[in-house]
Amino acid sequence: MSFEIRKKDLLGRIGLLRTKHGPVETPLLLPVINPNTQIIPPREVRERFGFNAVITNSYLVWRRFWNELSVPKIHELLEFDGIIETDSGAYQILQYGDVGVKPDAIIKFQERLDSDIGVILDIPTNQEDSKQHAKWTVDETLHRAKQAQQTITRRDILWVGPVQGGVHTDLVAYSAREMAKLDFEIHALGSPTTVMQQYQYDKLVEMIMAAKLNLPANRPLHLFGAGHPMMFALAIALGCDIFDSASYALFARNDRYLTSQGTAKLEDLEYFPCTCPACYRTSPENVKNMLKTDRERLLAAHNLHACQNEIQTVKQAIVDGHLWELVEARCFNHPALKRAFDTLLKYSDSFELETPVRKKKGPFIISEASLHKPEIARYQLQLRTNYVYPKRSKLAILLPEKHLEPFRQNYDQDQYLQKLFRISGLHVCAYSLVFGVIPHELMDVYPLSQIENSLKPTNTVRRRVTENILDWLHRSSYKSCIIVAEEQWQQKIAEAVRHRSRKVRCRIIQTEQDNEQLSKQILTLIRKRNKRMK
């Protein structure tokens, strides 16, 4: 196994990728190094910025050395002693249509270069391709991948099997299923560059998920051409492990300044919103007055710092179990990312399957979108499928959630609830905007009492809670139910439940009384009910 998963949250994971030049941790960004022109030397990329792995283009090296008997090792050529992935020239195919090198020749050349990670010469799918032509790129890439398995002689190199199909997600899914059958250590989603350049992140979500859900979980997924810090959290949450990009240099060439919130033009900046080594001793005004080459180098340095900082931020969010919160915060920075986040919500079931059952910290509920969080989906699923109602419970009481809160600290704190617990046949529950029905015996189970919530009782949220309560009552053996409502939104939920409940007779207590008075009112109501039943 060349890839070991250490921690997970959503579909994001922190892993260890083992290469012949040593291990490297994922999520991982590979800065693109042009073997011919280098704005920042590869050695500096490692020593100053902490990147232990880079990617370069074996096709550009091949054009320089193809007719020579002696080819330098790629680490010697770049003067880089870390991990080097070599691309095959497929990007040049996308740009120019042909590269004049055979697929088997570029594989053998990468073996001569002694790459740590190699990529076969696939055929990228252009976003503008018809579905018929896109299908050809998928089939031709699969054909070349099968041929590559016969050509490859060095298994100490990790080989990448690219997935194609472009915006045609059914083709992406097919390509992924077929590529998964082949013996590759890493897979990559090809052709997303144009989609990202046009800020079509919602399409990117669909493309990534079509690949991710059809590839083996124990193989890293490389998102080709992705290198902007504003989308790392989103892509990692979707299961991407490796990124590569020359954006740090390309944006610097055009006086662009990368941040996790988006891209800024140098001419628009009066202050640098960053204290990285490239920024903290200077100002935008000083940088504007630099020579072109110096300015470009400083901006490239900042852009590398910004990318590395965001990768580290995402990793810590995975450790804390707060990747969802980070993705939500990042996606509300830009309308295109917000559309992507809305698309991401369709895959909440997939996130639930991969998210740890327990975390170091409870979830934050910030908006209605937060209700799609894996922890909430898991609770609803477990309650429907695994919960066993107490035997002989014929009467349920649904209290606003706050009435069960004292039991998080001290079970004996609230005497009036103690009286309710002693009543035979009575089942005490709470109802919550976030979780719906919460049986009192589960109140201290993660994450029911560990959340931080700022949710508002909108019409959508109230309908959701109403449906949850109705489903809870329908599956129960209760004969009747008392719903306590203290606020207007609770009254609306209670009335909707009473009106629609066919199996269980519901009674509403609307009150703003303290606990002792409420307890007396409930006990009086229960005694009257018991007398009628006798």
Question: Known catalytic residues?
Answer: 87
Q: Output the six-digit token pair for 104.
A: 């088997």
Q: In this structure, are residues 190 and 90 in contact, taking their beta carbons and an 8 Å threshold?
A: yes
**How many Cα atoms sit within 13 Å of 520 on the Cβ side?**
4
Tally of CB atoms within 10 A around 491: 14
Contacts of 23 (CB under 8 A, 6+ apart): 16, 17
What is the DSSP code string of 376-403?
Answer: HHHHHHHHHHT--PPTT--EEEEEEGGG
Question: What is the rounded distance in angstroms from the CA atom of residue 61 to the CA atom of residue 67?
Answer: 11
Question: What is the rounded distance in angstroms from the CA atom of residue 389 to the CA atom of residue 427?
Answer: 9
User: What is the chain's Cα-based Rg?
Assistant: 29
Pairing verdict, β 395-400 and 364-365? unpaired
Tally of CB atoms within 10 A around 471: 15
Which runs of E-coded beta strand occur in 206-295? 221-223, 242-245, 256-259, 262-265
Sign of CA dihedral 13, 18, 19, 23: positive
Contacts of 257 (CB under 8 A, 6+ apart): 251, 263, 264, 265, 266, 269, 272, 299, 302, 303
Q: Which residues of 33-47 are buried (b: 16+ CB within 10 A; e: fewer)?
A: bebeebbbebeebbe
Question: What is the rounded distance in angstroms from the CA atom of residue 437 to the CA atom of residue 419?
Answer: 21
Q: Output the six-digit token pair for 449.
A: 């009492």
Which runs of E-coded beta strand occur in 34-169? 53-57, 83-87, 117-119, 158-163
Question: What is the rounded distance in angstroms from the CA atom of residue 139 to the CA atom of residue 523?
Answer: 72
**DSSP label at 191?**
-
Q: Which residues of 432-457 are buried (b: 16+ CB within 10 A; e: fewer)?
A: bbbbbbbbbebbeeebbbebeeebee
What is the DSSP code string of 409-477?
Answer: T-TTS-HHHHHHHTSTTEEEEEEETTTEEEEGGGTTSTTTTS-EE-----HHHHHHHHHHHHHHHHTS-
What is the DSSP code string of 140-159?
Answer: HHHHHHHHHHHH---TTSEE
Q: Residue 480 forms beta bridges with which residues?
A: 395, 505
